Amino acid sequence: MTVRRILLVNGPNLNLLGTREPEIYGTATLSDVERMTTDAAAARGFDVRAVQSNHEGVLLDAIHDARSDCAGIVINPGGLTHTSVVLRDALSGVGLPVAEVHISDVHAREEFRHHSYVTDVATVHVVGEGVGGYATAVDRLIGVITGGADG
């Protein structure tokens, strides 16, 4: 039986969506993002397990656990994008396809945001599409999982 679940990972500070710098990140909340992601996955016959944490180890444990019951990972690592080798190694180590999402266009922001430790292990990259980018990432990742179009 094929696993039909995606792990949605949101890193530090994404629990503040809707109130944190709305001029950059918009007014949608993390609950809105999780609902949008779940709806996009359900439309393709997948379900979603969501995790958000401000603690790197919690995210690593969730990624490791995904090996047993997920077909892929959609991740917005937040600030860990630019700093965390261990997050990159966890994503690489579980061997699941990964979609990297960023709400803002990180390449048009501060110089330190231009580098991502996740990019080379992700198959799908969605940057600067606002929270709607999560649905795009889900659709493209499921395409990779099911053998359709890649990211």
Q: Which residues contact 87 (CB under 8 A, 6 or more apart)?
A: 11, 56, 59, 60, 63, 77, 80, 117, 118
Q: Is 104 known to sit in a ligand binding site? A: yes
How many residues can be counted in the chain? 151
Q: Is 84 known to sit in a ligand binding site? A: no
- Reported as half-sphere exposure (CB side, CA atoms, 13 A), residue 7 has a value of 27
Q: Is 92 known to sit in a ligand binding site? A: no
Q: Is 73 known to sit in a ligand binding site? A: no
Look up residue 146 and give its two tokens.
């099911």
Q: Is 89 known to sit in a ligand binding site? A: yes
Residue 134 annotated as catalytic:
no
Catalytic residue among 102, 115, 117, 134: 102
Q: Is 76 known to sit in a ligand binding site? A: yes
The annotation places the binding site at 76, 82, 89, 103-104, 113
The annotation places the binding site for substrate at 76, 82, 89, 103-104, 113
Q: Which residues are catalytic?
A: 25, 102
